[in-house]
Amino acid sequence: MTTTGTETPLDLLVERATRTRRLVVDMAAGPRGCHLGGSLSVTDLLVAALDRAGRDEGTEVVLSKGHAAAGLYAALHTSGVLAENPAPHYGLAGHPYTGHPSAHVPGVSFPTGSLGHGVPYAAGWALSRKLSGKPGGAIAIVGDGELQEGLVWETCQVAAAQGLGNLVLLVDANGGQNDGPVSRISPLEHLSERFAAFGLRTAETEGHDMAALTSLLDRGPDPSGRPLAVVASTVKGKGVPAVEGKAGSHYVRIDAARAARWKRRIT
């Protein structure tokens, strides 16, 4: 992925993530509530990936774990892609901010939420850039629970075979899924080794370390054509102490007073 813009200062990205989390809490306090825990765990990944895409020519970010739509809308807004603040309109009639994203939202090219599909959408985009000889590629952000979908691995197989060195899979490994811990429902032991066995380059990082994330995403395409899988360890509900690491944060609806308290704690 060729960088065309100057590097964004790290403190600006961290501040962007903080504002993103506050907007997510606002959406949890709206009439619909939202997938809070996963939106907060993926926030830093989204901010870093959108920053990367904003500085690259032809790089597409696909949030494959579409249930974290609140996080995506908030991050698109704080990243300057989405002009409107989506929080007051989340899930409401007359607005495109549905609980799983669609291309009706500026900055979103593919509908996601039925888990697994975002990875091949991203792979198709990456293939298009390779085919046309143009710079850029795709970053697919997936949940660790989502990795239980066969389509993800089907696409890893294809992406490695097609030499899509311009494809990045960013795994939001928050350890939770709808019905409980991933480790109890369908564990993903030796995850990096699994990706490596499919022919991907792998990296592991702390998923709330913005410097580490940007450094990984600044890697260019692999000359040998291997896609990159980044397993980013994250905390469900990150940034809001009341819900951090709690399975019950998966989907949350709160009142305005609680939201105000939670937002004050986000730094």
Partner 1 sequence: MTLSGREAYRDELTLLAREDPSIICLEADLGGARHPFEEAHPDRFFNLGIAEGAMIDMAAGLAAAGYRPFVSTFAPFATLRAAESLKLTLGYIGAGVTVVAPYAGVSGAWFGTTHHGLEDIAVARSVPGVTVAAPHGEQEMRAVVREAAASGRPHYVRTGRNAVHESLSPAATAEPLVWDRHAGPGDVCLVSVGEEGTRLCTEATAVRDGLAHAHLCYLDHENLSSITGLLGERYSRFVVVEEHRAEGGIAEALALLMPRNEVHGVNAGRAWPTEGGDHHEVMASLGLHLPAVLDTVDRLTGPAPVSVRRPDATLTNA
Helix (H) or strand (E) holding 229: strand 228-233
Stretch near partner 1 under the rule CB under 8 A, chosen from 89-97, 128-136, 218-226, 230-238? 128-136
Nearest residue (CB) to partner 1, 53 versus 74: 53
Q: Is 158 in the site for partner 1 (CB under 8 A)?
A: yes
Q: Is 109 in the site for partner 1 (CB under 8 A)?
A: yes
**CB-based contacts of 177: which residues, under 8 Å, 6+ apart?**
143, 144, 145, 148, 185, 250
Greatest C-alpha distance within the chain: 53
Whether the CB-CB separation of 118 and 62 falls below 8 Å is answered with yes
According to DSSP, the residues that pair with 177 across neighbouring strands are: 180
What's the rounded Cα separation, in Å, for the pair 149 and 145? 8
Q: Is 169 in the site for partner 1 (CB under 8 A)?
A: no
Q: Is 162 in the site for partner 1 (CB under 8 A)?
A: yes
Stretch near partner 1 under the rule CB under 8 A, chosen from 12-20, 148-156, 204-212, 258-266? 148-156
Helix (H) or strand (E) holding 261: helix 256-265
The least CB distance from residue 245 to partner 1, in Å, is 33
Among 132, 183, 186, 215, binds partner 1 (CB under 8 A): 132
Residues forming contacts to partner 1 in the complex (CB under 8 A) are: 60, 102-103, 109-111, 114, 117, 120-129, 131-132, 138, 151, 154-155, 157-158, 161-162
